[in-house]
Structure 1
Amino acid sequence: MLNRLTNSLDFHGQALALRSERQRLLASNIANADTPGYVARDMDFASALRQATGSASGGLPSTLNTSTAGHIAAATGARAEPNLLYASASQTNLDRNSVDMDRERAAFADNSVKYEATLRFINGNVRTMLDAIKGQ
């Protein structure tokens, strides 16, 4: 029973971290909308979540090894730089900037709503655990 609760919290925690990272990417795209040559970045959230939770490798979490003592240990989850994608320009621009503000704003709003939903799932799980611990 405890494993199911921890697994659920771990899953939602990973999803929250990835949503946060995606929000950072989208905000960076919006901030660089007028930067010549800037190419918008995004992530495939579903595959990044599978990779972060270990679902892509048969249940084992994917980790990176450090080959030298001076290397920084790789973080699992959002900071492991999920496979970032480049956005193709919806219109040709003279400055070769691929940021489409309508697309970025819509993705930003969608991701914000999903971030909030993930927070609500975590709050609900914690509240359920506290109620179970307290008893009736």
Structure 2
Amino acid sequence: MIDRLSQDFGFLQQAIALREQRQEVLSSNIANADTPDYKARDFDFKTAMTNAMDQRMKLANTNLTLTSPRHIPGKAVMPSDIDMMYRLPYQPSIDGNTVDMDMERVQFADNTMHYESSLQLLSIDMKTLQQAIQQS
């Protein structure tokens, strides 16, 4: 039961954290819409979420101690958190800025909607758990 709860809450916690991080990236793009040579950035939420959930099953950065020079060194390295990508502009500007305000606003609104729905799911799960505890 506890494992099921921690999996469910862990997933939602990770989703909310990634949505928050993406919101910051999109906000930065919007804030720099008039900055010459600014390159708009973003990341693929699905890939980042998959990587984050896979990392829970991996070892932290580890180096094994060798007891013989003939042993093969063992290493476990955590992958980077998020692969940031540059957004390709549909219509490049003369000053080198790649921020498309229409696209950024749509992405920002979409991410906000997903962020709020994740918070609502977490709230519903917490209320359901609280009711189950009170009834026991």
Indicate the residue corresponding to 2:68 in structure 1. Answer: none
- One-letter amino acid of the counterpart of residue 6, structure 1: S
Instruction: Work out the number of aligned pairs and report it.
Output: 121
- One-letter amino acid of the counterpart of residue 100, structure 1: D
Indicate the residue corresponding to 1:97 in structure 2. Answer: 97
State whether residues 52 and 81 of structure 2, in contact with CA within 8 Å, keep that contact through their aligned partners in structure 1.
Answer: no
How far did 1:62 drift?
A: 6.8
- TM-score for both structures, normalised by structure 1: 0.82
- Runs of at least 5 residues in structure 1 that lack an aligned partner in the other structure: 68-75
Counterparts of 1:3 and 1:81 in 2: how far apart (Å)?
24
How far did 1:81 drift?
A: 4.1
How far did 1:61 drift?
A: 4.0
Indicate the residue corresponding to 1:135 in structure 2. Answer: 135
- Runs of at least 5 residues in structure 2 that lack an aligned partner in the other structure: 64-77
Indicate the residue corresponding to 1:19 in structure 2. Answer: 19
Indicate the residue corresponding to 2:67 in structure 1. Answer: none
The within-5 A match list for 1:1-136 is 1-54=1-54, 60-61=57-58, 63=60, 65=61, 81-135=81-135
How far did 1:125 drift?
A: 0.8
CA change 1:62–1:106 in 2 (3 A) is farther
Q: Once superposed, which parts of structure 1, at least 4 consecutive aligned residues long, lie more than 6 Å away?
A: none
CA change 1:87–1:43 in 2 (3 A) is same
Bigger radius of gyration: 2
Root-mean-square deviation (Å): 2.1
State whether residues 22 and 43 of structure 2, in contact with CA within 8 Å, keep that contact through their aligned partners in structure 1.
Answer: yes
- One-letter amino acid of the counterpart of residue 60, structure 1: M
- Between the aligned residues of both structures, percent identity stands at 42
How far did 1:92 drift?
A: 2.0
Indicate the residue corresponding to 1:71 in structure 2. Answer: none
Give CA-to-partner distance per residue, 1:33-86, whole Å, 9 cap, x none: 0011000000100010011111xx6x61474x389xxxxxxxx9xxx6400111
CA change 1:113–1:39 in 2 (3 A) is same
CA change 1:101–1:15 in 2 (3 A) is same
CA change 1:66–1:94 in 2 (3 A) is farther
